[in-house]
Amino acid sequence: MNDAPLSGSVSRADLLVADDENLKAEAPLFKPPREQFLGLRGSVGRYQSMFLGMVGIIALFVAWEIAHVMTPENQQKFLPSVGQVVSKIAYLFTEKGYIADVAKSVYRIYVSFFFACLFAVPLGLFKGCFAKIRALINPTVGGLRYLPAASFVPLLLVYFGPTDFAKLALLFLGCVFFLTALILDNVEAVPKELIESAQTMGASRWHIVFRVAFRSAAPQILDSMRNMIAVSWTYLVIAEIVAATDGIGAVMMRGARFLHVDIIMGGILTIGVLGVLTDLSFRIAGHFLFPYIRARR
């Protein structure tokens, strides 16, 4: 082909020879087409992502501020401005020992969630690994999942009174059944081939349960936990509304009694911030616990 180019057409080989000198020099950097702002599944840089996140938050506050300004003067105490709420939070922290309430709520969430995990992880794991355990437990747990956690409130009050334990129990009940179901799904999604190849290595049953099935599902299990603890935060106020003396929910209830909307909104804001931090802490844990996920292309 190179020897006898068709007359009238210039073969590629000729072109290459003609520009020989040029070809030796390093080519200029290639400029890929500029990514559209809304490119499908497009990429987001680290700083761009932070920037966009901030834009979202600021937009929310701006909308809130506008709503406040547009509210008639005599109604404004029902929709305080961002500044008022933030300064109220500062006031709560400095004058009212709000930090103790926040700490109490965080404690309730984490302790109840810890016990929920203590139940749900082995239960989900064994259900996913052993058909008979699954048959034994699943109908029960599957049904309990549909009971609204709030409906337990009167029962828990009767049993345990206005104690801390009642609140922990409610938070626990609010997420343990769902968490079990999610973890069951995670364990069932472990590829059959991984388990079978462990079997052909001579692995024992318990080795496969803990070192293969659990290990394989672990990143997804952490994700399930991250999603369920968010649900747990949403139950917090319900748990602390009833006969509570401390905690963010109690502070908000007290605010409600005196129509202190700024305190209520401050509580909502606090829970939001704590929720985001919780989510972040799970993501960071995942990042360090499962370095191989980062390697995946």
Partner 1 sequence: MSILTEHTGAANHAAHEQGQASGEPPLRAERVTKEYLGGSRVALDNISIDIKENQITALIGPSGCGKTTFLRLMAGLEYPTRGSVTAYGKPIMGPGPERGMVFQAYTSFPWLTIRENVQHGMKIQGFSKAEQRDRAEHFLKLVHLDEYADAYPGELSGGMKQRVAIARTLAQGPELLLLDEPFGALDAQVTWEMEEMAVDIIERESKTVVLVTHDIQEAIYLADRILFFTRQPGRIKEDIAMEFKQGRRFAKKEELLVEPGYVDMEKRLYTMMREEIQGRIS
Q: Would you tell me which residues interact with partner 1 (CB under 8 A)?
A: 191, 193-194, 196-204, 207, 212, 215-216, 218, 290-293, 295-297
Q: Which is nearer to partner 1, 186 or 216 (CB)?
A: 216
Smallest distance, partner 1 to C-beta of residue 287, A: 14
Q: Min. distance of Cβ 199 from partner 1 in angstroms?
A: 4
- Of residues 219 and 275, the one with the C-beta less far from partner 1: 219
d(CA 192, CA 99): 49
Question: What's the min distance (Å) between Cβ of 222 and partner 1?
Answer: 13
User: Least distance from C-beta 132 to partner 1, angstroms?
Assistant: 18
- The residue among 75 and 200 lying less far from partner 1, judged by its C-beta, is 200
Minimal distance, residue 217 CB to partner 1, in Å = 11
The span from the first CA to the last CA of the chain, in angstroms, equals 41
Residues 6+ apart with CB under 8 A from 23: 16
Phi, psi of 243 (to 5 degrees): 50, 40
Question: Among residues 198 and 241, whose Cβ is nearest to partner 1?
Answer: 198
**Beta carbons within 8 Å of 88's beta carbon, 6+ residues apart:** 80, 262, 263, 266
Nearest-approach distance from CB 125 to partner 1, in angstroms: 16
* Sequence-separated (6 or more) residues with CB below 8 Å from residue 5: 11, 13, 14
Q: Please, what is the minimum distance in Å from the beta carbon of residue 204 to partner 1?
A: 8
Q: Which of 221, 209, 207, 231 is nearest to 120 (CA)?
A: 221
Which residues are CB-contacts of 168 (< 8 A; sequence separation ≥ 6)? 108, 111, 112, 115
How far apart CA 240 and CA 253 sit, in angstroms, is: 9
User: Positive or negative CA dihedral for 218, 222, 223, 227?
Assistant: positive
C-alpha 222, offset from chain centre: 10
Tell the smallest beta-carbon distance from residue 158 to partner 1 (Å): 47
Closest CA to 244 of 131, 166, 127: 166
Cβ proximity to partner 1: between 111 and 195 the closer is 195
Contacts of 107 (CB under 8 A, 6+ apart): none
Is the separation of the CB atoms in 170 and 238 below 8 Å?
yes
